[in-house]
Structure 1
Amino acid sequence: MSRVTGNQPEGTPTWIELAVPDLDRAMDFYGALFGWTYETGTTGAADAAQPAAQRRYAVGLVDGRRAAGLMEWPDAAGGAWTMYLATDDCDGTAKRVADAGGRVLWGPTDLRDLGRAAIAEDTVGARFGLWQGRARLGCEVVNEPNSLVRNDLIAPDAAPARAFYAAVFGYTLDTNPDMPDADFTFLRRPDGHEIGGIVGDPAAGAAGWGTLFEVADTDAAVARAVAAGGTASEPEDNKYARQARITDPFGTEFEIGARPTA
């Protein structure tokens, strides 16, 4: 699926959002990298110190369809893209998060008529969001250049994370025969659809969900990222894509990848 016209099934990555200290600088960088245009406004998302905070917000568009969100947050730096998982019942899913040993850090709360949201932390300390779409579905374009293609959780100890996500979302857990020496587990919805994976890496620091954007040409995208003020690793080929790690001007790391041409 690349064009999304309805709410995604429960447990599917459905939205990504990044807090940035300088929204205009972020819009310039991600616009240069991905060619995003933007719709802008303010959001009522609050923090404890400013309960009625109105923050500047931009939604990156691919061919006029929503691909990702950028929120201005003065103290944000070196963070990570927040991945939101779809839910038909934000409150019920938040309860399952707590029952499975995770923590609900914010919400559930209504964001005007757009949807109902929460931010949670799993049993290995990785944060993620919950999104019950109403007027706003989430990502309207995925799995094509300049949009979200994949999220994987990287954790020093993968076992607690596997148990947690299976309990909360009913995922089935499958190993990857293409990676027999890796501690890697596919996460699949009850209908069998793969939504991502969990990577166990004892050398990893804090656990976190990674974000991979598809691009048409990895090398060209790396050059654009560097020219726009970011940094990048050398592109590398694997079985699935030609990938590189990008760091934006604020220290946020994420991956880009182009599908094999043959």
Structure 2
Amino acid sequence: YQRPPRPHRHRESSNKEPNITLPPFHGKDNVENYLDWEMKVEQLFSCHGVSEDRKVSLATLSFQGHAMYWWTSLEKERRINHEPPIQYWNELRSALRRRHIPPYYDRELMDKLQRLKQGSSSVEEYRQSMELLMMRAGIREEERTTISRFQSGLHLEIRDKFELLPYKYLNELVQLCSRVEHQPKRKSFRKDSSPSYPKSFKKEDHSSQPSPKEEKEKEKEKYLLKHLPKSLSQVKSSALSVLKEDILLLNVLQRKLWF
């Protein structure tokens, strides 16, 4: 007895490509929007294993607004000029790049990458900006070159602190810099954690109020200053008068003792 062969329904269904929906593209004059759309489309093509003969039809179905008008005009123009229709994704991508990416875009990317600094961004935000510009410009370089590029744009206070720390890869350097970046914030938090009082609030300073004893001393000083002689001649005359009185008193005492 020989079992009949199984139907090939499962094999046929496995070979059938799934239906996917691409993100819409409106064809506006924004280089970053187009490049983001192109990257997402290529990711979906790769993830779902879309064959080459379906890529153009799927991509053009996502066109809306100005992009749809441009594609319709391009097809008519190629037919009028007896040119073959666009059948492959590479051809469509090249036509889209000529439409939406200006010829000076690569030069601008390189200038931005050379002038890129951390500025007010965090370490992680600065790293993401650098990697995005490198990806847009299609730069592929050794990791040590990327590390040197990353270091040159960091804040000086961060750069000085990690120079003696061990690191080999860019991820390690970014982690070290992020740790250094957050250290001052923790210190300032400790300082700010101490209780603070509003400026209008003033603690009572009891030491500023004079005691009764101090008040008596001050009154005594005022009295002495008021009754002291105002000039040096007055001081001399008052001293002489005191001496004369003392001499007269001594003479009287001596006379009484003799008699």
Report the TM range for the smaller structure's normalisation: under 0.3
Q: Which has the higher contact order (CA 8 A, sep 6+)?
A: 1
Q: TM-score, normalised by structure 2?
A: 0.20
Please state which structure has a larger fraction of its residues in strand. Answer: 1
